């Protein structure tokens, strides 16, 4: 009898706390390091067999909820997971964790060029996929494990946020130098004692300091960000890649792990010291839409038929776009490497009072999503021939923006 009364009391107290605080959150991490079984490093040149691990690659999960809604956010240290992996994770969660809304799972990739090939095009040659099915299953399994742990660890939290600008000395747009968004947005969830549960940082720059310079797995400069914040505040520190297409990357930086650590640490220190404002809104909202994007680049269809990319590409390719709010912060997903113009246009649509997160390579990784002008090669935009060759077509940017306008008005 005593035990029953005790648990009723604890439940009642927790209910009161949740009602007062409005948010519960938990976070968890799992490693997704590759094993030495014919894996290839993605990004840069093809045929880079994986040799060893320099620093851990992770999947990181955060589950946040109030009394009416929940959202799960995932980040992966890899080149860019495809939509079928998100669907696989959702299917598992639907079957194994019914209290979590599987349609509210958001997947993002850091886009490190020093992680294993999860797309297929970086194998030993274009006749052989670089994807290892065993490793892909490990990634899905570890993501499900992290979501379960994060869900079970939920506790009352307070939310704060901040914003700033970073990377003026090393982050460049090498296609259109005048078009760049160096903004940093953060949201932090702390328990009632002020301990960090999770910090989310949104910043746009290719993790390519080690591009082609190493066969060791690494999250590149994101490694330094993790290392600094893990030491400074603990908890789960998540990096959410921004709009890096067309072509946002480190320039004039030596290709060494020392430099990767330096710039990642600098970013971590910057966001740790940002002025943070307390959250005011008590809402969690989520809207998404399935989209069939027209496919005008036949290379994707050929790679699909050859089994290099293990995904169906026809006249269209199915993907997803989401827009959601966690308190005062707003988030918009872009299903690929989107150019700064689309990122800035997306932020113009957002009408929230807090930080604006543009999540590149989120829900999907459909290559470069760039302005239609890039497809007019007579304009001689630097690197446009490569960028358009890695794009599904010129209509993609407009379709994303149109759907986000609709989602934001809901």
Decide if 160 contacts 277 (C-beta within 8 A): yes
Give the model's pLDDT for residue 213. Answer: 87
Give the model's pLDDT for residue 21. Answer: 57
Assigned domain for 168 exists: yes
Contact partners, residue 333, CB within 8 Å, separation at least 6: 106, 108, 320, 321, 322, 323, 359, 362, 363
Q: Say how far apart CA 374 and CA 385 lie, in whole Å.
A: 8
- pLDDT tens-digit series, residues 220-255: 999 999 999 999 999 999 999 999 999 999 999 999
Give the model's pLDDT for residue 136. Answer: 96
Nearest to 138 by CA among 89, 100, 93, 91: 89
Give the model's pLDDT for residue 376. Answer: 95
Q: Are strands 24-31 and 216-217 parallel, antiparallel or unpaired?
A: unpaired
Give the model's pLDDT for residue 325. Answer: 97
Q: Are strands 356-359 and 329-333 parallel, antiparallel or unpaired?
A: parallel
Give the model's pLDDT for residue 212. Answer: 87
Q: Say how far apart CA 317 and CA 301 lie, in whole Å.
A: 10
User: Does residue 353 have a pLDDT over 90?
Assistant: no
Nearest to 225 by CA among 252, 244, 247, 207: 207
Assigned domain for 367 exists: yes
Nearest to 39 by CA among 216, 211, 302: 216
Total structural domains in the chain?
1
User: Does residue 72 have a pLDDT over 70?
Assistant: yes
Give the model's pLDDT for residue 154. Answer: 98
Assigned domain for 28 exists: yes
Band the pLDDT of 99: cuts 50, 70, 90. very high
pTM score of the predicted model: 0.94
Band the pLDDT of 8: cuts 50, 70, 90. very low
Highest mean pLDDT among 20-24, 48-52, 197-201: 197-201
Nearest to 208 by CA among 166, 165, 171: 171
Assigned domain for 188 exists: yes
Containing structural domain, residue 365: 21-410
| Average confidence score pLDDT of the chain | 93
3-state secondary structure the chain: CHHHHHHHHHHHHHHHHHHHHCCEEEEEEEECCCCCCCCEECCCCCCCECCEECCCCEEEEEEEECCCCEEEEEEECCCCCCHHHHHHHHHHHHHHCCCCCHHHEEEEECCCCCCECCCCCCCCECCECCCCHHHHHHHHHHHHHHHHHHHHCCEEEEEEEEEEECCCCCEEECCCCCCCCCEEEEEEEEECCCCEEEEEEEECCCCCCCCCCCCEECCCHHHHHHHHHHHHHCCEEEEEECCCCCCEEECCCCCCHHHHHHHHHHHHHHHHHCCCEECCCCCEEEEEEEEEEECCCHHHHHHHHCCCCCCCCCCEEEEEEEEEEECCEEEEECCCEECHHHHHHHHHHCCCCCCEEEECCECCCCEEECCHHHHCHHHCCCCHHHHHHCECCCCHHHHHHHHHHHHHHC
- Percentage of residues of the chain with pLDDT beyond 90: 88
User: Measured between alpha carbons, how far is residue 66 from residues 126, 221, 260, 309 in Å?
Assistant: 48, 34, 38, 39
Q: Within its chain, how far is the Cα of 36 from the centroid?
A: 26
User: Which range is least confidently modeled, 35-49, 158-172, 341-355?
Assistant: 35-49
Q: Are strands 58-65 and 70-76 parallel, antiparallel or unpaired?
A: antiparallel
Q: Say how far apart CA 313 and CA 334 lie, in whole Å.
A: 19
Assigned domain for 4 exists: no
Give the model's pLDDT for residue 16. Answer: 40
Give the model's pLDDT for residue 35. Answer: 80
Decide if 125 contacts 139 (C-beta within 8 A): no
How much is the average pLDDT of 142-169?
Answer: 97
- Percentage of residues of the chain with pLDDT beyond 70: 94
Helix axis angle for 257-273 and 221-233, nearest 10°, is 40
User: Does residue 178 have a pLDDT over 70?
Assistant: yes
Assigned domain for 266 exists: yes
Assigned domain for 3 exists: no
Give the model's pLDDT for residue 2. Answer: 41
User: Does residue 363 have a pLDDT over 50?
Assistant: yes
Assigned domain for 337 exists: yes
How much is the average pLDDT of 367-383?
Answer: 95
Give the model's pLDDT for residue 89. Answer: 98
User: Does residue 3 have a pLDDT over 50?
Assistant: no
Q: Say how far apart CA 407 and CA 351 lie, in whole Å.
A: 12
């Amino acid at each position: 009898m005593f035990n029953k009364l005790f648990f009723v009391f604890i439940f009642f107290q927790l209910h009161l706390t949740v009602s007062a605080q409005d948010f519960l959150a938990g976070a968890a991490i799992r490693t997704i390091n590759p094993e030495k079984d014919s894996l290839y490093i993605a990004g840069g040149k093809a045929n880079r067999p994986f040799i060893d691990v320099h620093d851990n690659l992770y999947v990181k999960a955060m589950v946040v909820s109030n009394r009416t809604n929940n959202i799960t956010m995932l980040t992966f240290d890899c080149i860019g997971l495809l939509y079928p992996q998100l669907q696989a994770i959702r299917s598992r969660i639907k079957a194994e964790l019914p209290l979590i809304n599987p349609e509210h799972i958001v997947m993002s990739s850091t886009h490190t060029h020093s992680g294993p090939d999860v797309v297929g095009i970086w194998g030993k040659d274009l006749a052989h996929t670089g994807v290892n099915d065993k490793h892909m299953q490990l990634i899905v399994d570890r993501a499900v494990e992290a979501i379960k742990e994060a869900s079970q660890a939920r506790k009352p939290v307070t939310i704060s946020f901040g914003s700033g600008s970073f990377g003026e000395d090393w982050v460049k747009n090498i296609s259109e130098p005048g078009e760049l968004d160096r903004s940093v947005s953060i949201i932090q969830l702390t328990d009632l004692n002020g301990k960090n549960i999770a910090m989310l940082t949104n910043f746009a720059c290719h993790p390519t300091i080690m591009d082609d310079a190493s066969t060791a797995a690494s999250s590149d400069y994101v490694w330094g960000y993790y290392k600094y914040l893990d030491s400074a505040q603990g908890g789960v520190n998540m990096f959410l890649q921004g709009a890096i297409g067309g072509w946002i990357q480190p320039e004039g930086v030596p290709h060494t792990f020392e430099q990767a650590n330096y710039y990642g640490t600098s970013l971590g220190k910057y966001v740790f010291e940002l002025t943070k404002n307390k959250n005011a809104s008590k809402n969690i909202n989520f809207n998404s839409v399935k989209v069939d994007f027209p496919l005008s680049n036949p290379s994707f269809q050929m790679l699909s038929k050859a089994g290099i990319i293990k995904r169906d590409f026809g006249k269209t390719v199915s993907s997803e776009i989401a827009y959601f709010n966690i308190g005062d912060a707003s988030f918009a997903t872009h299903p690929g490497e989107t150019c700064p113009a689309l990122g800035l246009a997306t932020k113009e649509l957002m009408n929230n009072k807090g930080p604006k997160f543009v999540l590149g390579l989120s829900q999907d990784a459909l290559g470069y999503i760039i302005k239609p002008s890039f497809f007019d090669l007579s304009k001689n935009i630097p690197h446009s021939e490569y960028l358009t060759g890695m794009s599904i077509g010129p209509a993609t940017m407009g379709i994303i923006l149109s759907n986000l306008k609709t989602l934001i008005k809901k």
